[in-house]
């Protein structure tokens, strides 16, 4: 696989901002008790992540990392399911949340399996994927598992955010 171009583009900065917004507003949405504020935070989180992951998919596709690019697209598709269910509130969002985190897990595995990102980033991505597989399976078997439930999915989010930090650090170093 060839390396990224020697300069950071404006779209790389948009990807960094989208991942940052996803990390900050995603965690913040999980923490706030007010439903309306949580839904606004998660809408910002979701849009940021869709934009960022699609941009990263295009970047990796151009670099010949087709599997990683596909992973970012699958992740973006999962995030769109989460966005679609967000406005319905926590209980109503469970079916789309289950499908969304299943796609997150598949996308994370596709992104993290090839040796494109540093080992710590890939390890975090695989760990997050495994945690979200558990969440998706619990929902698929009929459990009404809310997006704010603890221990899962609540404690899976920081592992996902660690993965975002790794992706951001990789984009920052693409000069």
- Nearest alpha-carbon partner for 128 in 167, 175, 174: 167
Maximum Cα–Cα distance for the chain, whole Å?
49
| Residue located via tokens 């469970």 | 94
User: What is the per-residue pLDDT across 75-112, written as a single tens digit (0 to 9) for each?
Assistant: 999 999 999 999 999 999 999 999 999 999 999 999 99
pLDDT at residue 3, rounded to an integer: 45
pLDDT at residue 174, rounded to an integer: 84
């Amino acid at each position: 696989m060839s390396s990224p171009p020697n300069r950071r583009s404006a779209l790389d900065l948009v990807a960094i901002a989208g991942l940052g917004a996803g990390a900050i507003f995603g965690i913040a949405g999980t923490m706030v008790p007010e439903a309306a504020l949580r839904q606004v935070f998660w809408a910002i989180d979701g849009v940021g992540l869709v934009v960022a992951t699609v941009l990263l998919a295009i970047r990796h596709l151009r670099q010949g990392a087709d599997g990683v690019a596909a992973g970012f697209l699958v992740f973006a598709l999962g995030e769109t399911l989460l966005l679609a269910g967000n406005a319905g509130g926590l209980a109503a969002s469970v079916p789309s949340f289950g499908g969304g985190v299943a796609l997150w897990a598949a996308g994370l595995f596709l992104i993290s399996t090839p040796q494109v990102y540093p080992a710590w980033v890939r390890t975090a991505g695989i760990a997050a994927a495994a945690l979200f597989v558990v969440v998706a399976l619990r929902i698929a078997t009929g459990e009404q598992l809310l997006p704010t439930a603890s221990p899962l999915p609540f404690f899976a989010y920081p592992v996902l955010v660690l993965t975002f930090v790794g992706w951001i650090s990789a984009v920052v170093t693409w000069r």
